[in-house]
Amino acid sequence: MDAQILSGKTVSSAVYDGLTSRIENLKSKGIIPGLAVILVGEDPASQVYVNSKTKKFSTLGLFSETIKLPADTSENDLISHINTLNADDRFHGILVQLPLPKHIDSDRILNTITPEKDVDGFHPVNLGNLTAGKPTFIPCTPKGIMRILSHYNIDLSGKHVVVVGRSNIVGRPISILTSMKSPMTNATVTICHSGTKDIFQYTRQADVVILALGSPEFLQGDHIKDGAVVIDVGINRVDVNSEKGYKLVGDGEEASLLKKASAITPVPGGVGPMTIAMLVENTVEAAERSL
């Protein structure tokens, strides 16, 4: 039987429904949750991500503004933009779209965003709080993955979760969240990365595989055990002969995984919509904390 589809569209709709009354409550107090997005350069994928984030804010009647800066913006200029936004009360959240051009030190930039407005959860204070088991802002993609798992009642307790990828955006934080000592989590976690010898040796032992490496169709059906759950964070553009010229595929090869897994997130329509929903939720949370 084919795997169950874990739909990020369904779960994100439930998240937005749940946020409606919180947004109304803020508005009744004269507060409209606001997000500032900074986009440096012309990376086409980043432009698409930023547009879908700000479009969602506008659909929900929230405030957002995108600051587009040229690719040759200096690190100091970018820092002074962030300092201005840190002091601007209209914005409860600030997001600097990654990746940044190579001449800019991303860590220095992320450290400049005030932790209270760091709705991406990338500031060392927020990452530190997460690591210490007392999260303040949880990065949006891993938070969205946890929400999908809980929505579909997938209990990780005592399970073996294998994470492929160790980025600060997904791999590292999801390994912390899945191993936390609380009901539905409490998993045993293995992190695989570019230094791992024979990654598939680990994925074949996994009850849950989380793919966050950015390599198109890396994992196939014969790399997992029967009935495993596959969470696919990859969104890769591969060239095809179509009007668009490309199609989006995950880090997993969907056709063969569907036959072997018990449940899988599709690409697109899986983790992607959840990242945006969690960004909205974190921004609403930031606005509530400002009350």
DSSP 8-state secondary structure symbol assigned to residue 223: G
**Is residue 15 near ligand GUN by the rule CB under 6 A?**
no
Residue list 266-285, contact with ligand GUN (CB under 6 A): 275
Closest distance to ligand GUN from the beta carbon of 21 (Å): 26
Helical (H) or strand (E) element with 194? none
**Is residue 146 near ligand GUN by the rule CB under 6 A?**
no
On whether the CB atoms of residues 81 and 109 are closer than 8 A, the answer is no
Q: Give the pair of three-digit tokens for residue 80.
A: 């002074």
Helical axes 171-179 vs 140-151, angle rounded to 10° = 40
Please identify, among the stretches 77-85, 93-101, 213-221, 225-233, the one whose residues bind ligand GUN according to the rule CB under 6 A.
Answer: 93-101
Helical axes 271-289 vs 140-151, angle rounded to 10° = 110
**Is residue 95 near ligand GUN by the rule CB under 6 A?**
yes
DSSP 8-state secondary structure symbol assigned to residue 160: E
Q: Which is nearer to ligand GUN, 135 or 221 (CB)?
A: 135
From the list 60, 69, 98, 180, which residue makes contact with ligand GUN (rule: CB under 6 A)? 98
E runs forming strands in 207-284: 208-211, 229-232, 236-239, 246-249, 263-264
Q: Which is nearer to ligand GUN, 47 or 186 (CB)?
A: 47
On whether the CB atoms of residues 237 and 246 are closer than 8 A, the answer is yes
Closest distance to ligand GUN from the beta carbon of 189 (Å): 21
Please identify, among the stretches 69-77, 86-94, 96-104, 280-288, the one whose residues bind ligand GUN according to the rule CB under 6 A.
Answer: 96-104
Q: Which is nearer to ligand GUN, 165 or 221 (CB)?
A: 165
Residue whose Cβ sits closest to ligand GUN:
98
The DSSP-derived string for 62-126 is: -EEEEEEE-TT--HHHHHHHHHHHHT-TT-SEEEE-SSPPTTS-HHHHHHHS-GGG-TT--SHHH
Q: Give the pair of three-digit tokens for residue 214.
A: 């950015």
Q: What residues act catalytically?
A: 53, 97, 120
Question: How many residues touch ligand GUN (CB under 6 A)?
Answer: 9
On whether the CB atoms of residues 139 and 123 are closer than 8 A, the answer is no
From the list 140, 211, 231, 249, which residue makes contact with ligand GUN (rule: CB under 6 A)? 140
Q: Which is nearer to ligand GUN, 67 or 98 (CB)?
A: 98
Q: Give the pair of three-digit tokens for residue 262.
A: 């018990």
DSSP 8-state secondary structure symbol assigned to residue 169: T
Q: Which is nearer to ligand GUN, 129 or 167 (CB)?
A: 167
**Is residue 5 near ligand GUN by the rule CB under 6 A?**
no
Site string for ligand GUN, 108-127 (x = CB under 6 A): ------------x-------
Q: Residue 215 contacts by C-beta under 8 Å, 6 or more apart in sequence?
A: 234, 236, 251
Which residues of this chain interact with ligand GUN, rule CB under 6 A? Answer: 95-98, 120, 140-141, 169, 275
